[in-house]
Amino acid sequence: MKDHISDMLTRIRNGQKANLLEINLFWPTPNFCIKILILFQLHGFIRGFKKTVINNKLYITVLLKYVGFQNPIIKKIQRISTSGKRIYSSSRNLWKLNNGLGLFLISTPKGLLTDQEARFLNVGGEVICYIQ
């Protein structure tokens, strides 16, 4: 597997459709995926995640979040920039992305940021994914 981010987003999407409480990500899980999970947790899209090291291999368990019994917090999660087609956006064009709905994650020279943080810091970069 070459695209770990798409795999992680697909596992989260499928886990929410199946009403699972947690999903597992297989190794090797890059640090970039862990940074994405940290932002998802900070903005309340997941309950959290657990790191487990078994035989020098890192395993990640993502704890999914629901409202009520079967209503997932995440309505839509989509990969924007892929390995075959990179999508970049300047800070001026970030205003046109979501009109206040959802959250875009952008890889900038200042690190992985949300679209709101990138607009505040006036930096652009590669648009990684969209979550609502």
Are residues 64 and 70 in contact, defined by beta-carbon separation less than 8 angstroms? no
CATH code, domain carrying 123? 3.30.1490.10
Q: Do 92 and 117 fall within a single domain?
A: yes
**Which pLDDT belongs to residue 97?**
64
Residues 24, 66, single domain; the answer is: yes
Q: What is the pTM of this model?
A: 0.89
Number of domains comprising the chain: 2
CA proximity to 4, closest of 61, 79, 63, 100: 79
- Are 58 and 71 in contact by the 8 Å Cβ rule? The answer is no
Q: Same domain for 15 and 53?
A: yes
User: Which residues partner with 23 through β-bridges?
Assistant: 62
For residues 21 and 47, state if they share a domain: yes
| pLDDT at residue 2 greater than cutoff 80 | no
* Same domain flag for 42 and 85: no
21: Cα separation from own chain's centroid: 17
More confident position, 122 or 91: 122
We report the CATH number of the domain holding residue 22 as 3.30.1370.30
Same domain, residue pair 63 and 81? no
Higher pLDDT, 27 or 14: 14
Q: What's the domain range around 34?
A: 4-72
Do 63 and 15 reside in the same domain of the chain?
yes
Q: Mean of the per-residue pLDDT values for the chain?
A: 89
Based on the domain organization, do 112 and 126 belong to the same domain? yes
Please write the tens of the pLDDT for every residue from 38-85.
Answer: 999 999 999 999 988 888 888 899 999 999 878 999 999 999 998 889
User: Which residue among 39, 72, 105 closes a domain?
Assistant: 72
